[in-house]
Structure 1
Amino acid sequence: MKLAVFATLLAVPAAWGPSKFVPVDTILVDSDGLPSGASSLLESHVSRYNARTAKGGMCVKSSSKVGCSAGKTTAKVSFEMKNSASKGGFEVRSSDLDHVVSAGDESGALQGFLAWIRQVRWSAKETQVPTDWTASHSSDKELWGLRGHQYSSAPHAQMFRTMDEMKDYTLDQAVFGTNQIEMAHISTSSSSYDHLVEFSSAMKDTGMNASLWISADKAAAFDLDKLFKDMKQLDSIFMPGGDGGTLDIKAATAARKSCRKYHPGCTMWISLQELSADDMDSIIKDLQTSTWKDNIDGIVFGPHVRVPLTQFVKMIPEGFPIRQYPDICHIAGAQFALNFLSHVWAFTHQRQAVAPSPEFMDSIVRQRANGSTPTIGVGAYSEGVGDDWNKAVWSGVAFQPYRSVKNIVADYARYYFGADLEETAAGLIFGLEQNWIGDPANNTQINKTFALAQKLEKDGKDVLAKSWRLQALVKRAYNDVYQQRRYVCGLESVAGAMSALQRTWSADHRLDEAEKSLEHDCVDKTMSSYKSRVLDLASAINKTLGAEVLQTQDKMLNIQLIDEPVSDVPFLLDQVKSIKKLKSDDDKDKAIAKLTGWTDPGKDGFYAALASVPQSPNLVLPVSLESDPARYINPTISGDRYHSSHWISSQRSVFELYDSSVVVRFEGLKSSAKYKLRVGWGGGSGEVQLSANKKSILQKYMSATSSTKEYSVPQSETKGGTLELECQQKPGVGGSGRSCYISEMWLTVESEDSVIV
């Protein structure tokens, strides 16, 4: 995936975004034209704008409210309600200093105002508003109507340290088109009841749909009737059927009945996660019975569903709307794991990290749009706010798909960091995504992205001091360049050691020279300063937001992994020291030969590190990575923890999901040779089978293992010059569906015949 030049990325199409701006001292927003229920929400957004921007200067006025005064140059925003306008639609007209938002309902009026406010160019010096600009939106242009995200009730009951912080964050989500918040991971402690009531009130105050993700067993711990009665608003309940819950129609029926008693529009949703093929078929049959039809309002598609979304939509009986539940907060071991993520980033971040992925997320949203996969929308899975940029893309693209992701990221940068920093900050967001594509050793983008971060530090000191979003992005850029330099230095140390070990010197001399190379200190003064800056920014995030709020599953913000090994230096050093303890030179020579020959398959042989980055040429991808983001067809990389007892190539594996397979192809085999196959299995669960060219079974179904096994390959399968090896698990499994973990393969010549019969 390649990104275009940042200046091109940030160009706003004349068809939607404004091209002319005028400076103003004050912005007066006249709420008289709004429905009465929208006025308080409008004031909340204006207050949020003033608190967030450097100059503020926006005020809501009405016939019943005084206190707003015009400045020397005042922009005026007014509203007009038109019965002819579409529900949720709006039109914005800006002429000189007058701005009018026309809409058919409260939702459209507020969305129109928020669309306008995203275009306001604020900075410490001045505020500029659009002029000579007209833009419109209708709900039928949206990819889907439901655009939601999850909050976690851990580590804080409302995810944030204070209720005000949660409300502010929720208002920010609305600016980019989000209209539902779902509280998840609910505790059964005695205080949870009050916190859920507070959550409901906060959603009502911020204009959001309120939803609860609650498992059947957690629901049983509450007096739901009392809880739902006291909640001011509850629009839906999601009871997961797997991945944190089990399908329980009785519990779902009771919860729905109780909810509708106090919230007549409340809907009940269930998921079919972690089900085997037989269990899924059984549940789909149940959905056609009155017990399920009358009590389940919709079905959720999320991680660990054994079929892709397109197939899932076709399987669900008519009458059940489908809601997506995408995981947009994890980088590995997840529904949308980053494609061929280098071990450098996996080892130093594991699953949760600040990883803005605008291009990747934009591609997924557009692939999952109505048409090929008709669903009512999204309630995305999340853990903390470290995926804030991804939230904005999912909501923003779904809300206004006629705008490019480049425009939406530009809006994001302008809204949070100001017009002066907009282009640099947007470039940083796109750059961070590209930093993690391909081999870090050869990725020149990392230094370019780092330069953008340093520019933001210089040009945006005041914003950086207050903004956890900017702190998190700049921290990532510093960590990226720090890890890249550690990695490159480690590669040089390993190369020096391997070169020494393969010289013709005595065993002891070779080992001594290898040890010297491996003990080289890679961290110089410059790198130490980068590391210190990472630590400083982590501390700043903890003060401005809370480390535990940014990443609820990694409250140290990956700091504990900052010096995790990213090369084979620790492994090789342990091996060298162990070999030095051997008594005889002959034993040392043999051990050295074994160590240096790990990847050597011998004459006419082949070696493949299947989880390598860049991608191994032997690993077959049946479809493009872009067309299969959830990896239902293509294999995925696993391995985010370093172990000094193995080569890194042995620690990382590829695996397949459910009924797909891992396919490895070797070409250019000698027709006269008989080959032996050695497979480094990477563990996992279930039973797996290995076959050659879809004909010969090299291994019948057996329990997954983490050992290395050898197989004799029939010469009939190699004489044509190509060998295709395929690993599959037993069809129809449930659970996470992950199996066929393979790290490495060696195809070596066992013998050579002069005649092939």
Structure 2
Amino acid sequence: MIVRFITSLILITLAFRLSAQPIDLKNSVILVSPSIPAPMRSTAPQMLTEEIAKRTATSLKQTTSWPSGSVIVLALSSDKEVAGKTVPARTGFNLPEQKPEGYRIVTEATAKGTTVWVLGADARGILFGSGWLLRNLKMDNKRLELSSPIEVATAPAYPIRGHQLGYRTTANSYDAWTVAQFDQYYRELAIFGTNAIEGIPFHEKEKASPHFPISTDEMMVRMGELCQKYDMDYWVWTPAEFDLTDQARRSAEVQKHEAFYKACPRLDHIFFPGGDPGHNHPREVMAFLKDLHGKLMPYHPKAKIWISLQGFNTEQIDYFYRYLAEHKPTWLQGVVSGPSSPPMAETRYRLPKNYQHREYPDLTHNVRSEFPVERWDQAYALTLGREAINPRPVFFAGIHGKYAPFTDGFVSYSDGCHDDVNKVIWSMRGWDPTREVNEILNEYARFFFSWQVEKSAADGILALENNWKGPLASNGGVEATFAFWKTLETAHPALMKSNWRWQMLVLRAYYDTYTRRRLVYEQGLEKNANSILAQATESNLENALNQALAMVNKADSEPVSPELRKKIETLCADLFASIGLQTSVAKYKAKGYERGAFLDFVNFPLNNRWWLADEFKKIRAMKTPKEQLERTRVIATWENPGAGSYYDDVSTASKSPRVKTITDDATDIAWWDNGFSRTRLSTQTFQNNPALEYDNLEPGARYIIRVAGLGDALLRVDGQRLKPTVYNKEMEAFKEWIVPLSLTQDGKISVTFDEPEESHLNWRQHSKISDIWLLKQ
């Protein structure tokens, strides 16, 4: 019995080891079922062959008959046999490989080799099944293998999974791409589950980018051809930035649309944003869209029209839903929710069930956006800016999970390849919302970098996201992340030389570290300068001003870590050469400083040296030495008002311990003078109506609240509205209130602000609060 048991155990162990052995596909061939519709019958094997050849130096041959060795078979799930061999079918209902875009991958071992079946429900199933295979193969010059036998079947959770790739001047990279580069990017997005691409055929057409390799008209048609090649839905975003009651312009716009429809080899969806841009009432919009549908049908009879309610007020939103109830337009496919749209839950609730609901998430911006980096350190906001390289996988997985259940999917807003990781997260979570972020990043790194580095690179991407959490000066993880990426950089020189995704991630590691080192250094210089100013007297004031300014200007004359700055410049040059990433207005002709031009801000002051230089000029112009010294004292003690007093820079996390509110729309990072504002750094961050809590106050002591900002500040203490004793509305001028003694007897107070009535103003002109002091007298 014992011998028999041991023998059985050995056989079981041997069988397990054999089943767990990698499957070698280096000498395999590709066999394609003739039932797969064109063009996928050629697109999928071409994609497999070319992507494998890039990573293995092996070009797999294609055959029409069953080979003697290993084979990768592409077939439809409905096929009974391919080249005389029976397709491994399953019985049952609701199988993933029978659903739209679904696929099943199964391996079969034979004496002569292994068969890898890629069985798609349809053409897209073949595409996405091939993508799964590419993401999971272990590839290098010595191997092409699967880690073990496979049995996988899956179908997408959401039918719409797309990204906007705007070939326009505004983009920070797409406007420099050739058709071949778009082809490659389409392919790579498809490998990770994307099934839709959105173009922008008309917006800003008159402003040609200096980087365009071909005209917008030609590229829009070619993008449609690429969608046809990869069987992706082709969406186009087509706003009307004029008054639709202008019949001449309206007629010209309809004709322009019709010419585009006629030229496009494929067109599936027309997306019209109600606002952002555009200011037309839905009464005109719906009539206009109905006319467009009439022009669309002769050329693309299955295409549909979509609208967003962006920018619509309550009356206009109500009108839209009344229109749907009364007219029941069959030409309308659905509603798109984007920035400034009504809440997505409300939209899905009010929208009749026969209409679809699509999200338009902003994956590309970091501030002044739909999904800003929460409490982003000001040093990042002022240097990396709105369109920096921004892998935010954990954050965006959470955003997708929050809003996707109200939708049928998404087509994201993107203005460049800097958000590449975010696109992949959305595409993969759109396919399977339960996929772990780590799993997605491992596949991302395995495919784009190599299996040898997949876990390290995935961890490195997560570390870059963590670089943006909390106050930068106290985030020691930034240096650890830098050391991690430096090790990877040294170990993989080939990736540094030619892989733009790798270069972007390494660049972020350098930029984050350089910014943190500058922040710590430059803030230290300012503290020293303030000490000099605090000791100034009327007799030595001029000398103190000169010494203080020389101290803060060491940031320029004796800069920290110049070698990091040089590396940043080199990587920016490499990325412009490889992928057209425009990180500078002057050097690389970025459209504007908000459009990814973070190289132009790499040395933006992280102390107040520009502001101090301007303030010192004002001090010297004052009439009396007493006035000069008083203003100098205010500057010297701005952030350190003395014992028993408190200061908060309300939107800077490291300097606002008493602030309990955070903004959720990132309008608290100002954008003045094209990002080169000389105002005090604290002035460039703000909240509209902050709330603060103070404790450990001295009962019986007199306190004054001082506020700096712009416009109105309607202050309450413990819910009681106070009247100001000083009330200047200019920027960086002060407002002051005396706190009644009765409110401080318990040793604590709460400070809040009422919202001024400013609905008639643009949000950029709303009142702002940047600095708050509680000054013990």
TM bin (shorter chain): 0.7 to 0.9
TM-fit CA distance, 1:250: 2.2
* Match 2:411 to one of 362, 379, 386: 379
TM-fit CA distance, 1:312: 3.5
TM-fit CA distance, 1:591: 3.2
Rounded Cα–Cα distance in structure 1 between residues aligned with 2:433 and 2:330: 35
TM-fit CA distance, 1:360: 0.8
Report which of the two structures shows the higher radius of gyration computed on alpha carbons.
2
**Paired residues of 2:758 and 2:766 also in contact (CA < 8 A):** no
Q: Per-residue CA shift, 1:106-132, capped at 9, x if unaligned?
A: 322322221121011223443332322
* Match 2:106 to one of 77, 93, 96: 93
**Paired residues of 1:654 and 1:742 also in contact (CA < 8 A):** yes
Rounded Cα–Cα distance in structure 2 between residues aligned with 1:537 and 1:643: 23
Within 5 Å, which residues of 2 pair with 1:213-252? 213-217=237-241, 220-221=252-253, 222-247=255-280, 248-252=285-289
Deviates more, 1:331-340 or 1:549-558: 549-558
Rounded Cα–Cα distance in structure 2 between residues aligned with 1:227 and 1:748: 65
TM-fit CA distance, 1:615: 7.1
Taking structure 1 as reference, are residues 526 and 671 closer, same or farther at Cα in structure 2, changes over 3 Å only? closer
Rounded Cα–Cα distance in structure 1 between residues aligned with 2:24 and 2:763: 55
Query: Are 1:426 and 2:462 an aligned pair?
Result: no
- Does the residue aligned with 1:289 lie in a helix, a strand or coil? helix
**Paired residues of 2:715 and 2:751 also in contact (CA < 8 A):** no
Calculate the TM-score normalised by the size of structure 1.
0.83
Aligned to 2:181: 165
* Match 2:166 to one of 147, 152, 164: 152
Taking structure 1 as reference, are residues 556 and 725 closer, same or farther at Cα in structure 2, changes over 3 Å only? closer
Taking structure 1 as reference, are residues 716 and 239 closer, same or farther at Cα in structure 2, changes over 3 Å only? farther
Rounded Cα–Cα distance in structure 2 between residues aligned with 1:179 and 1:552: 29
Taking structure 1 as reference, are residues 336 and 489 closer, same or farther at Cα in structure 2, changes over 3 Å only? same
Taking structure 1 as reference, are residues 275 and 712 closer, same or farther at Cα in structure 2, changes over 3 Å only? farther
Aligned to 1:81: 77
Amino acid at match of 1:677: I
Rounded Cα–Cα distance in structure 2 between residues aligned with 1:698 and 1:281: 41
- Does the residue aligned with 2:336 lie in a helix, a strand or coil? strand
Rounded Cα–Cα distance in structure 2 between residues aligned with 1:182 and 1:567: 42
Query: Are 1:611 and 2:642 an aligned pair?
Result: no
TM-fit CA distance, 1:168: 1.0
Aligned to 1:6: none
Within 5 Å, which residues of 2 pair with 1:188-587? 188=205, 192-217=216-241, 220-221=252-253, 222-247=255-280, 248-290=285-327, 293-305=329-341, 307-370=342-405, 374-503=406-535, 507-508=540-541, 510-511=544-545, 513-521=547-555, 527-548=561-582, 557-575=597-615, 586-587=626-627
Aligned to 1:178: 194
Amino acid at match of 1:168: Q
- Does the residue aligned with 2:276 lie in a helix, a strand or coil? coil
Query: Are 1:49 and 2:51 an aligned pair?
Result: yes
Aligned to 1:597: 637
Aligned to 1:663: 691
* Match 1:105 to one of 122, 130, 134: 122
- Structure 2 portions without partners, runs of 5+: 1-18, 80-92, 209-214, 243-249
**Paired residues of 1:678 and 1:711 also in contact (CA < 8 A):** yes
**Paired residues of 2:307 and 2:336 also in contact (CA < 8 A):** yes
Taking structure 1 as reference, are residues 80 and 215 closer, same or farther at Cα in structure 2, changes over 3 Å only? closer
* Match 1:637 to one of 664, 668, 690: 668
- Does the residue aligned with 1:744 lie in a helix, a strand or coil? strand
Amino acid at match of 1:92: I
- Does the residue aligned with 1:242 lie in a helix, a strand or coil? coil
Q: Per-residue CA shift, 1:393-437, capped at 9, x if unaligned?
A: 111111122320111011111111111222232222112111121
Rounded Cα–Cα distance in structure 1 between residues aligned with 2:330 and 2:701: 66
Rounded Cα–Cα distance in structure 1 between residues aligned with 2:630 and 2:729: 31
Rounded Cα–Cα distance in structure 1 between residues aligned with 2:274 and 2:453: 45
Aligned to 2:13: none
Taking structure 1 as reference, are residues 282 and 748 closer, same or farther at Cα in structure 2, changes over 3 Å only? farther
Aligned to 2:6: none
Aligned to 1:129: 146
Amino acid at match of 1:404: E
Deviates more, 1:235-244 or 1:525-534: 525-534
**Paired residues of 2:722 and 2:737 also in contact (CA < 8 A):** no
Percent identical = 23
TM-fit CA distance, 1:317: 4.5
Greater relative contact order structure (CA < 8 Å, 6+ sep): 1
The alignment's C-alpha RMSD in Å is 3.6
Rounded Cα–Cα distance in structure 2 between residues aligned with 1:507 and 1:474: 49
TM-fit CA distance, 1:39: 1.1
**Paired residues of 1:121 and 1:127 also in contact (CA < 8 A):** yes
Rounded Cα–Cα distance in structure 2 between residues aligned with 1:415 and 1:61: 26
**Paired residues of 1:77 and 1:101 also in contact (CA < 8 A):** yes
Rounded Cα–Cα distance in structure 1 between residues aligned with 2:461 and 2:386: 19
Rounded Cα–Cα distance in structure 2 between residues aligned with 1:447 and 1:90: 44
Q: How many residues are matched? A: 700
- Does the residue aligned with 2:106 lie in a helix, a strand or coil? strand
- Does the residue aligned with 1:147 lie in a helix, a strand or coil? strand
